Amino acid sequence: MNTFGDNFRVTTWGESHGKALGAVIDGCPANLPISEQDIQNELNRRRPGYSIFSTPRKEEDKVEILSGIFEGKTTGTPISGLVFNKGQKSKDYSKIKDTPRPGHADLNYFLKYGNYDYRGGGRSSGRTTIGNVIGGAVAKKLIEFTHNIKIIGYSTKIGKIKGDFDYYKNPKFFESDSNIEKLLKKIENNPLRCPSKNSDEMKDYVIDAMDKKDSVGGIIEIIIKGIPQGVGNPVFNKLEGKLGSAFIGINAVKGFEIGRGFEASELYGSEMNDAYHIYENSIKEMTNNAGGIIGGISTGSPVVLRVSIKPTPSISKIQDSMNLISNKDEKIEIGGRHDPIIVPRVIPVLESMAAITVADLMISSGYINPCRI
């Protein structure tokens, strides 16, 4: 339903044009140093207006923490945070409330529930991921503070334009903390959150789609660095199963890969298998084609994930639909303010869900004390 996790649980609530949105985080241990600003910093990365390629809807997305943090540390009680909506323009949707928007959940929600909030997609809107990011900010802080785990997300492909930077082009790059710090700055300074040298070509591709009143999607790579060996469980509680569930729960996600992913189907076993050797008295993998997970359990190597993001369904082109009242075919022209590409804004959401998943499983796997830090 609206809660994710077993030990570290995040419940999100709110609609796109409602009064507010937020999250309740239950299961975070006491004594974790965290501030409202730490959470705000993550929300700022998801906020509208991040770049020329995001919706012109103006929102501060200023978080208010209501409980669970006292004098700069968690108390072990539920952490509750909310963000008030201030820039919604619900009248933009009144003219099309009876005409389902192609690519959106409007029709499915109507057929299943009979009553739904049509304004901006209501509960199915990407804006509801504010709650995911609030929960993810706490989870990120928890896993980094206790185990120095870092989560890095960036786009590797925009539409049909493939970038020249990804994990498997240079795995050793991610062994250096200095490299990662430089990479993070490069990602955040790019409007598409793309570190590839050909990102300008990607920008032109998006601008061309905008000129055609259309939208584009892309591929995001997520790296989880520093996760210890042994996180996750066999069969139904696998690390990759939990991550897949977390990512697919984001509406824009249409595909999910681990390690070499679908490319693995083209490789020989001798090419795919990660051989072992002894390095500094420890067992190490010579490669990381499995993407840091084998048998549902982390290997200690970086976890490598890729996610396919569909084009923004709200486009200005006239499309075919039907009227729920007259039960007749009808054309629809969507007004309002929309992202021509949501890939860069989805990145902090995916990072958040990865952090929540890892925090949850690290508690169940015994790496984090569920009571106190």
User: Is 193 part of any known ligand binding site?
Assistant: no
User: Is 316 part of any known ligand binding site?
Assistant: no
User: Is 251 part of any known ligand binding site?
Assistant: yes
Question: For residue 60, what are the CA distances in angstroms to 83, 164, 179, 213, 227?
Answer: 9, 34, 32, 27, 33
User: Is 127 part of any known ligand binding site?
Assistant: no
User: Is 252 part of any known ligand binding site?
Assistant: yes
User: Is 295 part of any known ligand binding site?
Assistant: yes
User: Is 85 part of any known ligand binding site?
Assistant: no
User: Is 313 part of any known ligand binding site?
Assistant: yes
User: Is 46 part of any known ligand binding site?
Assistant: yes
Nearest to 42 by CA among 338, 349, 362, 277: 349
The edge-to-edge listing of strands for the beta sheet with 79-84 is 3-4, 9-14, 20-26, 79-84, 63-67
Judge residue 78's burial from the number of C-beta atoms within 10 Å of its C-beta, 0-12 exposed, 13-18 middle, 19 or more buried: middle
Q: Answer yes or no: are the C-beta atoms of 88 and 30 closer than 8 Å.
A: no
Nearest to 152 by CA among 351, 358, 353: 351
User: Is 123 part of any known ligand binding site?
Assistant: yes
Q: What 3-state class would DSSP assign to 94?
A: helix
User: Is 124 part of any known ligand binding site?
Assistant: yes
User: Is 132 part of any known ligand binding site?
Assistant: no
Spatial distance between the Cα atoms of 186 and 194, rounded to a whole number of angstroms: 8
User: Is 125 part of any known ligand binding site?
Assistant: yes
Q: What 3-state class would DSSP assign to 372?
A: strand
Annotated binding residues for FMN:
123-125, 251-252, 295, 310-314, 337
Annotated binding residues for NADP(+):
46
Annotated binding residues:
46, 123-125, 251-252, 295, 310-314, 337
